[in-house]
Structure 1
Amino acid sequence: MSTVPIKAGTDVIEPVTAASLVRREVVSLPAYDPGADTDEVAALSGVARVVKLSNNESPFGASPAVAEAVRLRVDDSLSRYPDPTGKRLAEAIGKSLAVPAGRIVLGNGSENILELLCQAVLDPGDLVTTQAPGFSLHEIFPRMMGARVEKVPVTAEFGFDAIAWRDALAAGPKLVFLANPCNPTGAMLGAGELGRVVAGTPKSALLVLDEAYCEFARPNPDYPDGLEVLRGQDRPWIVLRTFSKAYGLAGVRVGYGIASDAALVQALDRVRTPYNVNQLAQDAAIAALGDHAHLAETVRRTGLEIARVTKLLRGAGLRVVPSSANFLFIETDHRSDWVAEALHRAGIVVKAWREPGYENFIRASLSTPEDNDLFVLCLTEICAKGAR
């Protein structure tokens, strides 16, 4: 690129680079970590099939009804824009939850709605409260808008720290992100703990309850349904859920939010792209929502593997956080990057956790029993060798 100044009349305009135009908030953002590329891991390991445990996807796939719904619509969906309002899907979700469709917002995954909330609500300097360790986009999107982020740590046993949350909420955040169950730990808040956060959140703040993994936690009688907790609250709130995890639709990207009122949905509509959820995704989600048996079987099989693998890993001397989701947060006593790279050489992909204070943890979403057994074998061997 030329660096010769350009003359405009008597003024000299100094050349600029594209990088110099980028807002400073964006320059300082950490990159989102999607996990290692499976093709690269396959080339490194030489295995015929990579075991991918990095993105909390369902190994049991989507409902068979989804494939049929997509097959019936694929010919006329590829060349036409989707319904920009997602009316049929919003009505189906609203009917299943006894909520008016006007209070349902759709997103290209629930993380898209996290971004829309930050774009619609946050001004530079606003305070956002979330948890640590936590989902990175709960920090990245607010910082993108110039907001300040305070992260409330868990206790030493990965439990809810009521005093820390009380103090953080008293500081007057404008936006509160709370995941239940938590990503990456899988730990859940009980009704009393969730109630304390709701009661302590200023009514001037928007409370965002991220329930991306709620389906896996529901069999636990102590797990509170966030929608039912918030339904009668006279305050702004939104509950986020997704079809990516338990419903097995990660590839088509569709999530949704249930808002306290239609005005919040209308505000999000003003900042979202008009066609943010494609038509095949809308049709797939409607079909998945109607197959209760498939969802129940996915949750049942996942719960069995969570319990079994937790027991195996603890028996091998590893610390595993009790999980109410479809993944495990595992302390290895070694740097997470080193453990993840060693697993890559065995053809297994996990998420190395790099958040300060948790650099010795990995997060592994569970797969089929055969895949999980291979993971346990390789992880325990790697950790044992690293301890020598």
Structure 2
Amino acid sequence: MAPATSASLVRRVVAGLPAYDPGADPDAVAALSGVAHVIKLSNNESPFGVSPAVTEAVRLRLTTGISRYPDPTGKRLAEAIGESLAVPAERVILGNGSENVLELLCQAVLDPGDLVTTQAPGFSLHEIFPRMVGGRVEKVPVTAEFGFDVSAWRDALAAGPKMVFLANPCNPTGAMLSVGELERVVADTPESALLVLDEAYCEFARPNRGYPDGLAVLREQDRPWIVLRTFSKAYGLAGIRVGYGVASDAALVQALDRVRAPYNVNQLAQDAAIAALGDHAHLAETVRRTGLEIARVTDQLRAADFRVAPSSANFVFIDTGRRSDWVAQELHRVGIVVKAWREPGYENFIRASLSLPEDNDVFLRCLMQICAKGEQ
């Protein structure tokens, strides 16, 4: 018998998975462009830094040492999250980013062939993780105005999915479900399904009139559900990776613990998240400044005749009228990194997270110049 190759050992379902696209490497863009300051707008990170309390918490931990494993349950952080949301700590699951909790949910809940319903365009891991374990994914398209199509969701949910991924606000469009729309989708979701409400960008959306408190809506449901949130976005902790889920009951958390790797959230991340959670003023200022830039950048893009989705997050979804791969490559040449969108029907769109005003101005000027000249 001939020896196996690495490729022959890989499960067929894994070989067929789309690769996650993190965006271009800033170092490679710096080498290509020759600029000293690369403007990275590809990963929806906060340009406003972390709370000073986070810096101090990390400093103290490094002083006392990190040679021991972290608390495997993250008890102190789970308790802090539970207290802030008025839920028992045993209903909180911690992850190496909320993406980790998404993965755990698919590993714990889905069997091969199970149906998952999500949105298009959408977060790629809402598709990749279910397919990784053999699940089937059905995507519900947005409306022409980038909003949630509640009627289309009703039709899709009638197919009886086992899991439903609902992002509010949505990535990549930034659109948000209103209270009434969320309640309608929840009501249409089969009670036999696990409803996953992904609120990675909820802090940015809360100032918007009509944005629902997902936990408040789901608390009234006698059904399995989980709300996912992260410290990577508004809290600025993307570099140390910590997110969490709040579940309908402790039994769901216990199931996730069975597939969770031990010590999946490191000690620096746990300490930093506790500190970040306590600094309400820093969070509020980050959200305020982000909101101002979202409005300013959106207005300027629309004034230049770009079609832009209404965003309740910290990024904008832009119809460039050109191939997104070409636009992104041209932006790389001037030291700017955005995410080129490639889902069918959205190949002319880019997603750009917001940076500091001076960086956003450079992005706006370069994008307008590139799209005005067109492909050569």
Which residue number corresponds to residue 190 of structure 1? 178
Is residue 53–residue 348 contact of structure 1 (8 Å, CA) maintained in 2?
yes
* Pairing of 1:172-251 with structure 2 (within 5 A): 172-251=160-239
Distance 2:79 2:50 in 1: 21
Q: What residue number does 1:121 align with?
A: 109
In the aligned structure 1, how far is the partner of 2:65 from the partner of 2:138? 43
Q: Does 1:140 align with 2:128?
A: yes
Larger radius of gyration: 1
Partner residue of 2:306 out of 313, 318, 339: 318
Matched residue SS, 2:157: helix
Contact 1:52–1:350 (Cα < 8 Å) also in 2:
yes
Give secondary structure in 1 for the equivalent of 2:257: helix
Instruction: State whether structure 2 residue 267 is matched by structure 1 residue 293.
Output: no
| Distance in structure 1 (CA, Å) of the matches to 2:136 and 2:233 | 29
The answer (yes or no) to whether the contact 1:110–1:242 under 8 Å persists in 2 is: yes
2:336 is equivalent to residue 337 of structure 1? no
The corresponding residue for 1:353 is 341
Alignment pair present for 1:257 and 2:245 = yes
1:31-180 alignment runs, 5 A limit = 31-180=19-168
Letter in 1 for 2:207: P
| Correspondence 1:381 to 2:369 | yes
User: SS state of the match for residue 131, structure 1?
Assistant: strand
Q: Which runs of 5+ in 2 are unaligned?
A: none
Task: Give the distance between the partners of 1:260 and 1:162, measured in 2 at CA.
Answer: 24
> What SS is found at the alignment partner of 2:119?
strand
Tell me which of 2, 24, 32 is aligned to 2:12.
24
Q: Distance in 1 between matches of 2:287 and 2:150?
A: 30
- How many angstroms apart in 1 are the aligned matches of 2:65 and 2:214? 34
- Determine the structure 2 residue equivalent to 1:277: 265
In 1: Cα distance, 2:68 partner to 2:87 partner? 29
**Contact preservation (8 Å) 1:77, 1:279:** no
Q: Could you tell me how far apart the structure 1 residues matched to 2:64 and 2:78 are?
A: 21
Q: State the one-letter code of the partner of 1:247.
A: Y
Cα deviation 1:259-297 (Å, max 9, x = unaligned): 000000000000010100000000000000000000000
> Shift of the alpha carbon at 1:19?
1.1
Aligned residue for 1:282, secondary structure, equals helix
1:9 corresponds to which residue?
Answer: none
Amino acid of the structure 2 residue aligned with 1:317: D
Secondary structure (helix, strand or coil) at the match of 2:93 reads strand
Code of the residue aligned with 2:199 in structure 1: it is E
TM superposition shift of 1:75: 3.6
State how far apart, in whole Å, the 2-side matches of 1:315 and 1:166 are: 36
In 2, Cα distance between equivalents of 1:187 and 1:148: 25
Shift of 1:18: 1.6
- What is the one-letter code of the residue matched to 2:254? Q
C-alpha separation in 2, matches of 1:345 and 1:251: 26
CA distance, structure 1, for counterparts of residue 18 and residue 156 of structure 2: 23
Number of residue-to-residue matches in the alignment: 376
What is the TM-score of this pair, normalised by structure 1?
0.96
CA distance, structure 1, for counterparts of residue 97 and residue 149 of structure 2? 29
- Please give the secondary structure, in 2, of the residue aligned with 1:274: coil
Whole-Å separation in 1 of the counterparts to 2:13 and 2:47: 37
Q: C-alpha offsets along residues 168-218 of structure 1, whole Å, 9 cap, x if unaligned?
A: 000000000000000000000101111111001111100000000000000
Residue in structure 1 matched with residue 254 of structure 2 by the alignment: 266
> Per-residue deviation at 1:352?
0.3
Q: Distance in 2 between matches of 1:146 and 1:387?
A: 40
Give the aligned residue type for 1:377: R
1: CA distance between counterparts of 2:334 and 2:305?
21
Percent identity (aligned): 84
1:387 Cα offset (Å): 7.3
Quick one: distance in 2 between partners of 1:338 and 1:325? 25
Once residues 271 and 77 of structure 1 are traced to their aligned partners in structure 2, the CA distance between those partners, rounded to angstroms, is 29
